[in-house]
Amino acid sequence: MTSPSLDASATSRFDAALRHVVGRPAAWVALVALVGSWPFVWALGTTVPPPPPVLTTLPSFALVDQDGRPFGSTDLEGRVWIASFIFTRCPSVCPAITRKMARVQARVRNLEPALHLVSFSVDPGFDTPERLLAYARSHRASPRMWTFVTGPDDAVRQTVEQGLRVHMGREADDPSPAGISHGTHLVLVDGAGRVRGYYDPDDPAAVDRLVLDAALLVNRGSGPVTSR
């Protein structure tokens, strides 16, 4: 059994050595260097996932936003953006889709203005800018980073169906909201107007994957983007 006097002696020697090290500036320099180099060492051992593939290229478009101002592809040049498809009198899936977009908005605020959200109305004959503005406010959409767009039916349909490759339709014999059908996937578009991914809002992991892919595209972009 170790005697108390030996334990006390060992403790005294350790304390003296510790005071000697702490009192030397070189020791602090070494500690700071070790802590500062840790992110670099961690990065070397971490594999950054590749960005999502290019799926299709979106033609230019010109529509109208919730404030009645022109809004189109020129406003999104150089920005990564995420599209959703809704209509304000939708009784079923649209509120859930918009809530998912609101979750995305909360997760990517630090990426604004390099990243933007755009919700296309698939009921443009009914969804005037005034109705879209009220809808946006009811879902606490930030006007700086989330735009709601409408316009002539043909122009909206061309952008949604031919450009973003998302279904948009209406039953000819049913003028009610129930007769409107549309795709529900969220679409990721890069700063060059190229579609990079489709994300099912019913998938619990979709928001995480979308946010990660969007951040990858922003971080690999060509440079900073100024606010509109």
Strand pairing report for 186-189 and 80-86 = antiparallel
pLDDT, position 175:
76
Backbone angles phi, psi at 70, to 5 degrees: -60, 140
Angle subtended at Cα 14 by Cα 12 and Cα 17, rounded to the nearest 5 degrees: 110
What is the distance between the alpha carbons of residues 126 and 87, in angstroms, rounded to a whole number? 9
Across the range 165-179, mean pLDDT stands at 83
176: confidence class by pLDDT, cuts 50, 70, 90: confident
Q: Per-residue pLDDT for 90 more than 90? A: yes
Q: What is the mean pLDDT of the chain?
A: 83
More confident residue, 210 or 11: 210
Residue 8 pLDDT grade (very low, low, confident, very high; cuts 50, 70, 90): low
Q: Is 170 exposed, middle or buried (0-12, 13-18, 19+ CB in 10 A)?
A: middle
What is the pLDDT at residue 171?
Answer: 78
pTM confidence score: 0.76
Domain boundary assignment for the chain: 4-44, 56-219
Q: With bands split at pLDDT 50, 70 and 90, how would you rate the model's confidence at 178?
A: confident
Does 52 have pLDDT greater than 50? Answer: yes
pLDDT of residue 179: 80
pLDDT at 221 over 50: yes
pLDDT of residue 159: 97
Predicted local distance difference test score (pLDDT) of residue 114: 97
Q: Three-state SS across 5-73?
A: HHHHHHHHHHHHHHHHHHCCHHHHHHHHHHHHHHHHHHHHCCCCCCCCCCCEECCCCEEEECCCCEEEH
* Longest CA pairwise span in the chain (Å): 98
What is the tens place of the pLDDT at every residue in 131-162?
999 999 999 999 999 999 999 999 999 999 99
Asked whether the predicted pLDDT for residue 69 surpasses 70, the reply is yes
- Whether the per-residue pLDDT at 210 is higher than 60: the answer is yes
The fold for domain 56-219 equals Glutaredoxin (3.40.30)
